Amino acid sequence: MKPKILFCGYREWSLKIYGHIEGKFRDKAELKLARDEKEFEDTIKSFNPGLVLFIGWSWIIDKGTVSKFLCICLHPSPLPKYRGGSPLQHQMINGEKESAATLFRMNDKVDKGPILWQEKFSLDGNLSEIFERMYEKGKKGTEEIIKKFLNNESFEGTAQDESKATYFKRRTPEMSEIKAEDFENNTAEELYNKIRALQDPYPNAFIRCRNNTKLYIQKAKIDEK
């Protein structure tokens, strides 16, 4: 009987990773995909996987599931920095030049499990370019995790350094607004970073105009001089 792997993800770049690993490992493992919370809850009970991968996932996983199954998550930040929600957007808005794809073993704390794999990638360019880098790194790291699983290797990992940890809450659509005072209090580069961090599929940056209408800004450029 083939070992069972449940892949949980719905974002475009994460589904590309699933397509890649499904093609690469279909002869060695039985894989199933869960795209949302209901599919996950329905599948994990009947499928009983040996490995659960959360790649591009937004829903909270209960402690019982994490304690019962080998659960590994891909988080788009150089953990322990930028734990919590909307990590990629927070990094870009804060002017970070570099991020990382981090795969860690999940425990009963948010993004605090031991790190199994981590590689850096650039935050330059628009969001679609950054997602492509996320795909390439995530594909590589996920392959490594599956190989370890198939070879029955240890998943102890490296404990995160709590002294370097930072935590951010998930952004809301209202936080995408650019207000009049932002033009006085921020540089062009800072506003540019906010706009490109909020490109599709995220709630786009917007300016509130007359009669409470909204002007959405999906792309910008800055004077390089």
CA distance 38 to 51: 18
113-142 tens-digit pLDDT: 999 999 999 999 999 999 999 999 999 999
CA distance 40 to 34: 5
Q: Which residues does residue 208 pair with via DSSP β-bridges, in sequence order?
A: 214
Q: Work out the percent of the chain whose per-residue pLDDT is above 90.
A: 95
* H-run or E-run covering 33: strand 30-34
3-state secondary structure of 166: coil
Cβ count within 10 A of residue 111? 21
Q: Where do the structural domains in the chain lie, given as residue ranges?
A: 4-168, 173-217
Kindly report the backbone phi and psi dihedral angles of residue 52, in degrees, each rounded to the nearest multiple of 5, phi listed first: -120, 125
pLDDT at 58: 87
CA distance 221 to 203: 19
CATH architecture of 4-168: 3-Layer(aba) Sandwich (3.40)
Cβ count within 10 A of residue 26? 11
pLDDT at 56: 92
The low-confidence residues of the chain, meaning pLDDT below 70, are 224-225
Report yes or no: 48 and 59 within 8 Å, Cβ to Cβ: no
pTM, entire model? 0.93
pLDDT at 225: 58
3-state secondary structure of 42: helix
